[in-house]
């Protein structure tokens, strides 16, 4: 069969108006159904004719999935809330500015106007072999093309790889992990919540999926507890181009400092591994210590301890080390005359 | 395999008809496009099933149009409604040439299903100028500054700017650059584009 | 500094105006190829080769053809024989038997079109393509140019892996180039371990090549290097970069009364007709392209940058399908398809040995380049890289050697400053390093080695003398630039603070800036208005109308009374310069000048006939022709009516000798409508026309992430008289930014084992966004007229590219020191890894990483 790209195949389209209808459609069509949120990740797969769902369930008409609400002193963000809405929301800015910063670092204005927070955290990896339709582990095959002697893998994983070396590309994911967010998942049997940290899975757990969603599941909301409201936040993303590009690496941290010492801290990085990584060892190390550049440096070294680079991504080790340092002690900005 | 060539003049195609057809953009493309059947035989109408014949509000007019389930808004605008000012540069959310306003918000029309835009107000480059031909201030800014070169990116840039100015009517040059950063210009005329769009912003305020 | 020439005061030239195409552009009414519709229009889509090199054994399209809605399938067997090509400068190259035909049975790169399916819509096309089965015989492939020169490695084509140009038999046309196998000795590759490019033999033993085709020199290079105080031996690699015009090479075509109408995307309007005719095999009995059977419609083109000089061979696919199906056919080229068939600049791996005196003067250059040519026609970039280097840095002695290697990667074609860019990009890192080693300011080092006046270029042809340029004022551009950029102030600033390093860079760049010998054609109508027939393409540079401002200037008529007809070859256009190689502004302002003077002469003659005396007694001004010093005269409107009454040469019923047959046919069609002015540019020119740009940049590097930011960029151009400031400024900064893209991110990525492209489309090829350059950049132009052309204007499209790229690279080196990078683009990964290791960590010799 010859390959052709750039033409979306025909599918049956459903636009349910509420969550129960959406869930019933997902139940009815099972693995033949594709959930469409903002569509920015989906349309790539569909236009490339690599993923061929028979049924697309478009969530755009489910108004209850959209919006930001107060919740237990924190916030509940509907999964279909756009990244732009997250960026501009005054409550997010006031309490959890790290999430606005992370969301604003994603993609481009038009993508943020349509792309959703649920889609951003649930999107698939951008490994160019996998996205190019190569039959790799993640696509159900038995090889990782990005980890061969001729593979070009500058954007791939430096840690946590297990056969597959793809990375998670989300810019909001590490911010949500730092904020200890809870992912609200519904299916026709009920609702469950999963910690953001546990929402993402690596190839060791499931090599064909990047999160815990199963057919029939819908991510309906993300709840952010008050726990980290008002903390000192740090977010930084390094990318090649300042628009569109996914992170080479990003880092997010939240900390409370009392008496000059770190009281509580959470820190996470993404694009280093198939799942956004919470750096608990670094958190443990920093607790009770001063967030100085020296401590940050040591923490950075701890963070990259497990790194095992590929041929072209060794640079991610100093980059991650330095980003972790900055997430702890900030950036020493230039003072030009 | 290939049939033999049968001469220069295609059957049933008079010069007059061809010329008429070429001038009239907006002819609906092939019939198979319209009558392809459903992919799934659903047992009775499920909640959320979608009708193919839809009403779209484009540039202030209601337009009835037959839309395939997988059709993107850019395709509908360009091939069903004859609004070819909206350009397809990449069809992948990577260039911005297809940017239109949906309820005043800039979207890549290549990457939204037409069915998703039902019931919303869609504005394309053709809908900006007043009925008497007076240009929108952002269009006028381009005229004043000779912004853009090949201009294939121009409709997208203008729509992105118009959308951004609704949120931030008085931007700095840097803010405007951020606001319209989802648009790519391959003549790379960014400096002159920004100057033209800043002029447009200024004209919009007066 | 010697006095520089000045142009006379102009009324229109050098002034901003609103181009007549702009309102259509801002309202969305401007029609590009994909915006045309025709009744019963069918669609076509390409089936691309999934493998880099193969032979098609069998195509089974039966299931596809049986589908409702599928109308036809076109394969390589349906395509006309390989056709002659036109170069950048309009010269004809005889058909290359190994050239492209649009579709193929022996794909030589992944993504090469094998067949096209025509159906009622694109979805049907796609579904039909998926039903086609092709039996391929896989052939070995070569992706890396250096690798294929190693002994025992595969060749990109069955015939071999390098292009050679055979000697030209006396008194005959140059034969087509040939593909031969060239393998170097394993020992040659030992240089790689030292970070230096291997330099093996230039062509296989026992193969005769045309003189200077792979080696040329002037001066005594060995002596020059020997007497140098500093010799640098540097290897650098430039990237392969897709043109990535925002509009793909879409085309729609239909046949009427034996003529094919092609709505296509092209840089040039009139010159595209012969190209399409030749590709379609429409030739007359003399073997010349039969342009009477081709109509090109292209009012607007969404960018070309050298990739669509005369449209593209893919445009004939809908034309042939239209003939086959009897219906108009639209072939919308998708971005994916454009990646493969849309052309790209070839990478050059180059090694330069450059000698400097301790004062900074270059004593000699020894240059060796390997061009990654792709699988098809040999590109001129390798030779041009040496030629432009010889002009820009004026070495008294230079040797150039080059190998043009075939690879199974998409076809290359001229891209803004073809070859010139690579030459500059190879040399500028050497200049930058020399500046640090010698302790000489970057600007001073460039200035003392810059060309001046009628500076020599290239090697002398066998038995001849070295050519020279018409003029060069790049030293003035460096002076003005340093002042505007406040070079000295910036130089005095600290280089390090906190986690940031800062650096400034300057680069100079040059390229061909114009050709000669084309025709102009316009009519003064009986209503006193002028209709200019423009065969120039409308690709966004605005030369399609800018050039004709000269007509109004010379005749002293308000621009509002001039209408320009463009974009359709059935509208009787003159023989015009192809819009490639920045020829147009120079060539067509000359043609406009010559034609305006033809009109002036005719007006004076008509006046003399009616009012007596000699034609020279009359002058043309203020829309009138009248006796000098006042007295009898008539309006241009009256003169136009008299021209019709007089007939003959005055209204075009008599065609002057010397103009091209194409123009002649247009004159005959337009005869009798008014005073018809037509002329060929036969004006003298002493030297070859080149333009120059000096680029200045400041960067700030984040030492902890490797990410850098361009703080400022400024360019000063030496392009002769300014015709239209705003379009000139757009070109200077626009093409600079194209160059900046080569410094900061654009590239190809291949997995060489599979021969498959990993980076496709904008996302992975990374053309610069609006946030990757400063929100405000500045430009200036000297406005010194070139002395060898009447208006004084030269082309601008090319030299900013090298200036933009290399100003950034040199600023990075200024910030970070030597040997952080040895290829472009330079990204955070390279900077950070090299800083971390304290030595260059970029893989230097692997292609497409």
3-state secondary structure of C838: coil
**Confidence category of residue C88, pLDDT binned at 50, 70, 90:** very low
Question: Is-contact C382 C405, C-beta < 8 A?
Answer: no
Yes or no, beta carbons of B1 and C73 under 8 Å apart:
yes
Touching check for B10 and chain C: CB below 8 Å? Answer: yes
Of C123, C751, C756, the CB nearest to A7: C123
Cα dihedral A93→A98→A102→A108 (10° resolution):
20
pLDDT number for residue A169: 98
Within 10 A of B46 (CB to CB), how many other CB atoms are there?
17
Segment B126-149 shows an average pLDDT of 97
pTM above 0.80, yes or no: yes
Calculate how close chain C gets to B141, using CA atoms only, in Å: 10
- Which is nearest to C823 in space by CA: C350, C380, C481? C350
pLDDT number for residue B14: 41
Residues of B with Cβ-Cβ distance to C301 under 8 angstroms: 150
| Interface probe with A: pick from B34, B36, B40, most Cβ of A within 10 Å | B40
pLDDT number for residue A337: 72
Calculate how close chain A gets to B34, using CA atoms only, in Å: 12
Give the bridge partners for A250, in sequence order.
Answer: A237, A270
Of C132, C498, C829, the CB nearest to A335: C498
pLDDT number for residue B17: 42
Residue B25 has pLDDT above 70, yes or no: no
Print burial letters for C531-568: b (CB count within 10 Å at least 16), e (below 16).
Answer: bbbbbbbbbbbbbbbbbbbbbbbbbbbebebbebbbbb
Of C758, C828, C832, the CB nearest to A129: C758
Residues of C with Cβ-Cβ distance to B186 under 8 angstroms: 244-246, 303, 305, 767
Count of all residues that appear for chain B in the document: 206
**Confidence category of residue C89, pLDDT binned at 50, 70, 90:** low
Residue C11 has pLDDT above 90, yes or no: yes
pLDDT number for residue C2: 58
Of C130, C499, C756, the CB nearest to A332: C499
Residues of C with Cβ-Cβ distance to A312 under 8 angstroms: 829, 843, 849
Residue B2 has pLDDT above 80, yes or no: no
Residue A31 has pLDDT above 50, yes or no: yes
Between β-strands C519-524 and C500-512, what pairing exists: parallel, antiparallel or unpaired? unpaired
**Confidence category of residue B164, pLDDT binned at 50, 70, 90:** very high
Segment A162-178 shows an average pLDDT of 98
pLDDT number for residue C557: 97
- Which is nearest to C383 in space by CA: C165, C73, C642? C165
Residue C287 has pLDDT above 90, yes or no: no
**Confidence category of residue C138, pLDDT binned at 50, 70, 90:** very high
Question: Is-contact C249 C279, C-beta < 8 A?
Answer: no
Residue C410 has pLDDT above 90, yes or no: yes
Residue C617 has pLDDT above 60, yes or no: yes
Q: Determine the Cα–Cα distance for residues C128 and C126; give it in Å rounded to an integer.
A: 5
Residues of A with Cβ-Cβ distance to C498 under 8 angstroms: 331-335
Residues of B with Cβ-Cβ distance to C74 under 8 angstroms: 2
Residue B21 has pLDDT above 50, yes or no: no
pLDDT number for residue B24: 37
pLDDT number for residue C90: 57
Residue B28 has pLDDT above 60, yes or no: no
pLDDT number for residue C288: 82
CA torsion sign, C154 to C158 to C163 to C169? positive
Q: Output the CA angle A76-A80-A82, nearest 5 degrees.
A: 95
- Match 């901003």 to its residue by tokens: C16
Q: How far is CA B20 from CA C38, C39, C256, C285, C294, in A?
A: 8, 8, 13, 34, 19
Q: Output the CA angle C831-C835-C836, nearest 5 degrees.
A: 115
Express each pLDDT in A197-243 by its tens digit: 999 999 999 999 999 999 999 999 999 999 999 999 999 999 999 99
- Which is nearest to C102 in space by CA: C414, C319, C374, C288? C319
| Interface probe with C: pick from A1, A7, A50, A166, most Cβ of C within 10 Å | A7
- The residue in chain A having the minimum alpha-carbon distance to the alpha carbon of residue B160 is A110
Residue C65 has pLDDT above 70, yes or no: yes
Q: Determine the Cα–Cα distance for residues A263 and A80; give it in Å rounded to an integer.
A: 35
- The residue in chain B having the minimum alpha-carbon distance to the alpha carbon of residue A8 is B70
Of A151, A236, A325, the CB nearest to C751: A151
pLDDT number for residue C313: 96
- The residue in chain C having the minimum alpha-carbon distance to the alpha carbon of residue B68 is C123
Share the mean pLDDT of chain A: 97
- The residue in chain A having the minimum alpha-carbon distance to the alpha carbon of residue B95 is A244
Residue B15 has pLDDT above 50, yes or no: no
Residues of C with Cβ-Cβ distance to A335 under 8 angstroms: 497-498
- Percent of chain A clearing pLDDT 70 (strictly above): 100
Name the neighbours of A, counting chains with at least 3 Cβ pairs within 8 A. Answer: B, C
Yes or no, beta carbons of C29 and B85 under 8 Å apart:
yes
Secondary structure element (H or E) that encloses residue C235, with its range: strand C230-237
Of A22, A54, A243, the CB nearest to B40: A54
Within 10 A of C127 (CB to CB), how many other CB atoms are there?
23
Express each pLDDT in A254-276 by its tens digit: 999 999 999 999 999 999 999 99
Calculate how close chain A gets to B20, using CA atoms only, in Å: 29
Express each pLDDT in C517-535 by its tens digit: 999 999 999 999 999 999 9
Question: Is-contact C121 C330, C-beta < 8 A?
Answer: no
Calculate how close chain C gets to B149, using CA atoms only, in Å: 4
| Longest pairwise C-alpha distance within chain B | 64
**Confidence category of residue C306, pLDDT binned at 50, 70, 90:** very high
pLDDT number for residue C33: 98
Residue B3 has pLDDT above 80, yes or no: no
Express each pLDDT in A296-329 by its tens digit: 999 999 999 999 999 999 999 999 999 999 999 9
| Interface probe with C: pick from A44, A155, A304, A315, most Cβ of C within 10 Å | A315
- The residue in chain B having the minimum alpha-carbon distance to the alpha carbon of residue C322 is B10
Of B49, B96, B112, the CB nearest to A14: B49
Residues of C with Cβ-Cβ distance to B194 under 8 angstroms: 770, 775-776
Express each pLDDT in C428-441 by its tens digit: 999 999 999 999 99
**Confidence category of residue C309, pLDDT binned at 50, 70, 90:** very high
Q: What is the 3-state secondary structure (H, E, C) of A106-151?
A: CCCHHHHHHCEHHHHHHCCCCCHHHHCCCCCHHHCCCCCHHHCCCC
Yes or no, beta carbons of C35 and B25 under 8 Å apart:
yes
Residue C85 has pLDDT above 80, yes or no: no
Calculate how close chain B gets to C410, using CA atoms only, in Å: 19
pLDDT number for residue C83: 67
Yes or no, beta carbons of B39 and A109 under 8 Å apart:
no
Q: Output the CA angle C725-C344-C167, nearest 5 degrees.
A: 105
**Confidence category of residue C95, pLDDT binned at 50, 70, 90:** confident
- Percent of chain A clearing pLDDT 90 (strictly above): 99
**Confidence category of residue C3, pLDDT binned at 50, 70, 90:** confident
Residue A153 has pLDDT above 60, yes or no: yes
**Confidence category of residue B46, pLDDT binned at 50, 70, 90:** confident
More confident residue, A44 or C95: A44
| Interface probe with A: pick from C126, C334, C737, most Cβ of A within 10 Å | C126
Express each pLDDT in A46-74 by its tens digit: 999 999 999 999 999 999 999 999 999 99
Q: How is residue C831 written in tokens? A: 């900077």
Going by C-beta distance under 8 Å and a sequence separation of 6 or more, which residues neighbour residue C206? Answer: none
Alpha helices in A31-70 (DSSP H): 42-47
Secondary structure element (H or E) that encloses residue C457, with its range: strand C456-457
Residues of B with Cβ-Cβ distance to A8 under 8 angstroms: 70, 72
Q: Determine the Cα–Cα distance for residues B37 and C408; give it in Å rounded to an integer.
A: 42
Size of interface A-B (CB pairs under 8 A): 111
| Interface probe with B: pick from C34, C121, C770, most Cβ of B within 10 Å | C770
Secondary structure element (H or E) that encloses residue B16, with its range: helix B15-23
**Confidence category of residue C281, pLDDT binned at 50, 70, 90:** very high
Q: How is residue C749 written in tokens? A: 């990525």
Express each pLDDT in C328-376 by its tens digit: 999 999 999 999 999 999 999 999 999 999 999 999 999 999 999 999 9
Yes or no, beta carbons of A4 and C130 under 8 Å apart:
yes
């Amino acid at each position: 069969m010859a390959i052709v790209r750039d033409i979306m195949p025909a599918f049956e389209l459903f636009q349910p108006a509420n969550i129960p209808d959406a869930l019933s459609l997902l139940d009815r069509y099972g693995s033949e159904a594709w959930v469409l949120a903002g569509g920015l990740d989906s349309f790539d797969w569909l236009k490339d004719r690599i993923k061929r769902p028979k049924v697309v369930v478009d969530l755009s008409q489910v108004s209850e999935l959209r919006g930001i609400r107060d919740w237990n002193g924190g916030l509940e963000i509907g999964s279909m809330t756009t990244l732009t809405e997250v960026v501009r929301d005054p409550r997010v800015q006031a309490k959890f500015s790290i999430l606005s910063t992370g969301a604003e670092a994603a993609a481009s204005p038009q993508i943020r106007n349509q792309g959703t927070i649920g889609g951003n955290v649930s999107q698939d990896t951008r490994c160019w072999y996998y996205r190019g339709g190569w039959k790799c582990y993640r696509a159900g095959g038995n090889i990782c093309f990005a980890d061969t002697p001729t593979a070009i893998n500058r954007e791939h994983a430096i840690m946590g790889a297990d056969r597959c070396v793809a990375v998670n590309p989300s810019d909001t994911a590490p911010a949500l992990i730092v904020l200890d967010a809870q992912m609200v998942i519904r299916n026709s049997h009920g609702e469950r919540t999963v910690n953001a940290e546990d929402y993402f899975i690596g190839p060791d757990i499931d090599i064909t999926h990047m999160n815990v969603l199963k057919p029939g599941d819908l991510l309906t909301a993300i709840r952010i507890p008050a726990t980290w409201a008002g903390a000192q936040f740090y977010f930084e993303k390094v990318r090649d181009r300042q628009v569109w590009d996914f992170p080479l690496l990003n880092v997010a941290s939240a900390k409370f400092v009392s008496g000059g010492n770190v009281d509580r801290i959470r820190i996470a990085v993404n694009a280093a591994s198939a799942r956004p990584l919470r750096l608990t060892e670094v958190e443990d190390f920093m607790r009770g210590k001063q967030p100085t550049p020296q401590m940050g440096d040591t923490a950075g070294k701890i963070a990259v301890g497990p790194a095992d680079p590929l041929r072209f991504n060794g640079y991610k080790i100093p980059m991650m080390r330095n980003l972790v340092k900055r997430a702890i002690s900030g950036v020493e900005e230039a003072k030009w005359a | 395999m290939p049939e033999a060539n049968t001469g220069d003049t295609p059957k049933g195609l008079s010069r007059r008809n061809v010329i008429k057809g070429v001038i009239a953009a907006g002819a609906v493309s092939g019939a198979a496009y319209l009558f392809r059947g459903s992919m799934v035989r659903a047992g009775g109408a499920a909640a959320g099933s979608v009708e193919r014949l839809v009403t779209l509000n484009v540039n202030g007019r209601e337009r009835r149009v037959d839309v395939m389930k997988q059709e993107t808004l850019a395709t509908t605008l360009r091939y069903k409604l004859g609004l070819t000012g909206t350009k397809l540069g990449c069809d992948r959310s990577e260039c911005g040439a297809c940017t239109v306003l949906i309820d005043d918000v800039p979207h890549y029309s290549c990457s939204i299903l037409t069915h998703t835009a039902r019931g919303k107000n869609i504005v394309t480059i053709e809908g900006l100028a007043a009925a008497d031909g007076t240009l929108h201030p952002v269009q006028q800014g381009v005229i004043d500054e000779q912004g853009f070169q090949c201009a294939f990116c121009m409709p997208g840039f203008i729509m992105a700017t118009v959308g951004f100015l609704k949120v931030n009517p008085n931007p700095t040059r840097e803010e405007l650059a951020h606001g319209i950063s989802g648009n790519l210009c391959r003549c790379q005329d960014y400096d002159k584009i920004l100057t033209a769009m800043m002029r447009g912003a200024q004209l919009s305020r007066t | 500094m010697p006095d520089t020439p000045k142009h006379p005061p102009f009324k229109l030239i050098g002034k901003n105006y609103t181009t007549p195409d702009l309102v259509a552009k801002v309202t969305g009414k401007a029609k590009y190829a994909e915006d045309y519709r025709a009744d019963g229009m069918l669609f076509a889509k390409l089936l691309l080769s999934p493998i880099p090199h193969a032979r098609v054994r069998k195509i089974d399209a039966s299931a596809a053809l049986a589908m409702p809605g599928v109308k036809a399938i076109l394969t390589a067997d349906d395509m006309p024989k390989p056709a002659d090509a036109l170069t950048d400068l309009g010269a004809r190259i005889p058909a290359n038997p190994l050239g492209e035909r649009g579709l193929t049975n022996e794909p030589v790169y992944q993504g090469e079109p094998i067949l096209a399916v025509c159906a009622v819509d694109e979805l049907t096309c796609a579904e039909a393509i998926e039903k086609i089965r092709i039996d391929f015989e896989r052939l070995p492939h070569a992706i890396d140019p250096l690798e294929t020169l190693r002994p025992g490695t595969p060749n990109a084509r069955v015939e071999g892996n390098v292009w050679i140009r055979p000697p030209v038999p006396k008194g005959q046309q140059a034969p087509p180039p040939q593909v031969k196998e060239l393998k170097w000795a394993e020992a040659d590759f030992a240089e790689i371990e030292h970070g230096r490019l291997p330099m093996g033999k230039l062509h296989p033993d026992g193969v005769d090549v045309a003189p200077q085709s792979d080696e040329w020199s002037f001066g005594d290079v060995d002596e020059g290097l020997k007497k140098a105080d500093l010799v640098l031996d540097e290897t650098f690699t430039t990237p392969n970069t897709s043109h990535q015009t925002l509009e793909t090479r879409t085309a729609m075509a239909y046949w009427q009364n034996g003529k094919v109408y092609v709505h296509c995307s092209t840089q040039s309007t009139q010159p595209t007709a012969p190209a399409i005719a030749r590709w379609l095999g429409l030739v007359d009995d003399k073997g010349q392209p039969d342009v009477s059977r081709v109509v090109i419609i292209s009012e607007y083109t969404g960018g070309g940058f050298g990739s669509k000089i005369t449209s593209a061979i893919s445009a004939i696919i809908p034309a042939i399908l239209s003939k086959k199906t009897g219906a108009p056919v639209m072939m919308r080229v998708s971005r994916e398809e454009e990646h493969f068939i849309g052309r790209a600049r070839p990478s050059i791996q180059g090694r330069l040995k450059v000698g400097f005196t301790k004062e900074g003067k270059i004593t000699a250059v020894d240059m060796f380049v390997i061009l990654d040519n792709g699988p098809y026609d040999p590109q001129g970039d390798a030779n041009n890289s040496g030629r432009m280097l010889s002009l820009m840095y004026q070495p008294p002695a230079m040797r150039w050697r080059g190998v043009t290697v075939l690879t199974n990667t998409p076809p290359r074609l001229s891209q803004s400053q073809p070859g010139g860019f690579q030459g500059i990009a190879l040399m500028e890192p050497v200049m930058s390093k020399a500046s640090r080693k010698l302790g000489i300011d970057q600007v001073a080092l460039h200035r003392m080695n810059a060309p001046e006046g009628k500076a020599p270029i290239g090697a002398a042809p066998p038995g001849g003398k070295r050519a020279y340029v018409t003029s060069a004022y790049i030293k003035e551009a460096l002076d003005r630039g340093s002042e505007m950029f406040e070079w000295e102030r910036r130089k005095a600033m600290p280089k390090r603070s906190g986690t940031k390093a800062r650096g400034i860079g300057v680069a100079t760049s040059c390229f061909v800036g114009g050709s000669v010998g084309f025709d102009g054609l316009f009519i003064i109508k009986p209503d006193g208005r002028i209709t200019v027939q423009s065969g120039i393409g409308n690709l966004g540079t605005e030369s399609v109308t800018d050039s004709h401002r000269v007509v109004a200037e010379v005749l002293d008529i308000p621009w509002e009374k001039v209408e320009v007809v463009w974009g359709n070859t059935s509208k009787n256009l003159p023989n015009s310069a192809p819009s490639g190689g920045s020829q147009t502004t120079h060539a067509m302002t000359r043609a406009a000048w010559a034609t305006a003077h033809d009109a002036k002469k005719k007006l004076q003659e008509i006046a003399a006939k009616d009012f007596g005396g000699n034609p020279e007694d009359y002058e043309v001004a203020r829309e009138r022709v009248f006796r000098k010093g006042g007295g009898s005269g008539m309006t241009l409107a009256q003169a136009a009516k008299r021209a019709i009454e007089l007939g003959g040469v005055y209204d075009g019923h008599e065609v002057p000798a010397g103009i091209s047959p194409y123009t002649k046919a247009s004159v005959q069609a337009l005869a009798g409508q008014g005073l018809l002015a037509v002329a060929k540019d036969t004006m003298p020119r002493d030297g070859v026309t080149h333009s120059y740009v000096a680029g200045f940049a400041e960067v700030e590097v984040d030492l902890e992430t490797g990410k850098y930011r361009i703080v400022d960029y400024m360019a000063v151009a030496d392009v002769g008289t300014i015709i239209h400031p705003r379009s000139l400024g757009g070109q200077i900064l626009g093409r600079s930014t194209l160059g900046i893209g080569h410094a900061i991110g654009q590239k190809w990525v291949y997995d060489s084992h599979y021969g498959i492209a990993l980076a496709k489309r904008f996302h992975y090829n990374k053309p610069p966004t609006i946030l990757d350059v400063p929100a405000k950049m500045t430009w200036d132009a000297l406005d010194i007229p070139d002395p060898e052309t009447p208006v004084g204007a030269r082309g601008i499209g090319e030299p900013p590219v090298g200036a933009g790229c290399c100003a950034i690279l040199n600023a990075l080196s200024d910030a970070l020191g030597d040997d952080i990078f040895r290829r472009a683009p330079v990204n955070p990964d390279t900077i950070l890894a090299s800083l971390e290791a304290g030595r260059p960590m970029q893989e230097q010799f692997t292609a497409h990483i």
